[in-house]
Amino acid sequence: MNCKKEAVVLMHKYMDGELHKEEERRLRDHLNTCQSCQNHFHELKRATTLVKNTSPVSAPKNFTANVMNNLPKEKKRKSYVRYLQRHPLITAAAVFFILMFSGIFSAWNQDQQVTVSKQENLEIRENVVIVPEGVTVSGDLTVRNGDLRIDGKIDGDVTIINGDIIDGEPQGEISDEFDNSTLRAYSGELTEVNQIYEWVWYHTKQFFTELFAFGSDE
Amino acid sequence: MESMIKQKIKEVKKGDQSAFEDIVTFYQNKVYHICLRMIGNAYEAEDLAQEAFIRAYTNIHTFDERRKFSTWLYRIATNLTIDRIRKKKPDYHLDAEVKGTDGLDMYSQMAADQALPEEEVESLELQTYIHKEILALPPKYRSVIVLRYLDELSLQEIAEVLEIPVGTVKTRVHRGREALRKRLRHV
């Protein structure tokens, strides 16, 4: 066996725990006959033992505390980003709502003109929509950017966007009569939307009402 | 233990900074040890170990949870230390000298307080000597020897920590061992 090449290689393989039975036997046989290799092997083992047996060191006191104090503070923005990365559904929902609300906002600012959902038999005078006396509007009525005066009757829900309801008759005379809710001039519900958040809320409500109505149709 | 660490890592990933404290407590000695034996200076080792933990924290989202956390952490620590060794190469020997006197200072202080038994003094001196010999190894052999014999990692683990093939690790361990054999022959 060649001492320098083969035997030393086998020694290192032995120390890595990768020696086969056959190789181990050959190495043992060689060590029994070769004094210089025996010395070499002994020195190797001794060196690694010395290195291994050095006492373990422990980290300085307050090491953990120092590390914790030096950690970067969680950045708000970064944590949002991470949050969104981990919740794609929420991201999708957020994008959806942003688009939806921006659509509603632009619709709010779009036109300041008085619009009414039903034009028949209604009078429009200086931003006031009047239901004349003796006229009965059947179905729901939506007034936008204007006040509503009801002299006649509305058979359905009333929605006033960016406006008020004005009582048709002088308040004092008929207040007793009109106090009773059964005698009011409209049969359905009255909804007034004056502020932008109400407008948003109104749209959201409508969206979900439609959504569920659509769902129940099927 | 491994599952506890995994749980903590999950919490850190969720943004719970305090969960990282347990990870630091658990690994501080090992990481500090690697840094110290490779750099040879206590202050620098502390600095490097601290930096390693901070890097681990800021890059925690890049850690693949199916892998071993210790391997990943040791890689950060060894890379930082190797970088530092490369940067300060010119005055390296000067530093080793300081380290030696450091050990001596500590020892003389202790001796003044209470007389140590002769044997213990000898073993302290021997340890200092061995550490000096490890530090005298070229960095690429030093890192594998430290990981192999002081941290008792397997060859495969060392390959993962240093991101080099197992074959290269073996060659370096062999050469490192031979170098140590020559240096420690007369001890």
- Put simply, the chain A residues between 50 and 69 with a CB less than 8 A from any chain B CB are 50-52, 54-60, 63-64, 66-68
Instruction: Work out the end-to-end distance of chain B between its first and last CA atoms, rounded to an integer number of angstroms.
Output: 39
CB A135 within 8 A of CB A118: no
Q: Where are the domains of chain A?
A: 3-52, 74-110, 115-217
Question: Which residues from chain B sit within 8 angstroms of residue A82, using beta carbons?
Answer: 15, 61
> Residue B176 domain-assigned?
no
CB A199 within 8 A of CB A161: yes
Q: Which residue has the higher pLDDT, A207 or A37?
A: A37
Helices and strands: H and E segment counts in chain A: 8, 10
> Do B28 and A55 count as a contact with CB atoms less than 8 A apart?
no
Q: Is the pLDDT of residue A77 over 60?
A: no
**Is B55 a member of any domain?**
yes
- Please indicate, yes or no, if residue B154 is contained in any of the structural domains: no
In one letter, which amino acid is A101?
F
Q: Is B3 on the interface with A (CB under 8 A)?
A: no
Quote the ipTM score: 0.71
Q: Which residue of A has its CA nearest to B43?
A: A60
* CA nearest to B18 within chain A: A68
Number of domains into which chain B is organized = 1
Short-list B80, B101, B71, CA closest to B38: B80
% of residues, chain A, pLDDT over 70:
77
| CA–CA dist B161, B181 (Å, integer) | 25
In this structure, how many other beta carbons lie within 10 angstroms of the beta carbon of residue A40?
19
Residue at B30 is within a domain = yes
Nearest CB neighbour to A55, from listed B54, B61, B127: B127
Domain enclosing residue B64, as ranges: 1-87
Residue B169 is assigned to a structural domain of this protein = no
Q: Are B88 and B39 in contact (CB under 8 A)?
A: no
Helix B69-87 × helix B42-58 angle, to 10°? 130
Would residue B151 count as lying in a domain? no
Query: Do the chains contact at B180 and A40, CB–CB below 8 Å?
Result: no
Q: Mutate which of A39, A58, A64 to disrupt the B interface (most B C-beta within 10 Å)?
A: A64
Interchain proximity A51–B58, CB inside 8 Å: no
| Closest Cβ–Cβ partner in B33, B58, B174 for A57 | B33
Q: What is the pLDDT of residues A9-20, one digit of tens each?
A: 888 888 888 888
Least confident of A23-37, B17-31, B101-115, B123-137: B101-115
> Is the CB of B132 inside 8 Å of chain A's CB atoms?
no
Tally the residues of chain B: 187
CATH of the domain at B30: 1.10.1740.10
**Is B184 within a domain?**
no
Per residue in A151-164, pLDDT (tens digit) is 777 777 777 777 77
Token code pair at residue B119: 């044997």
Cα separation, B185 vs B114, in Å, equals 32
Q: Of the candidates A125, A172, A163, which has an alpha carbon nearest to the alpha carbon of residue A141?
A: A163
Tokens of A152: 């006649």
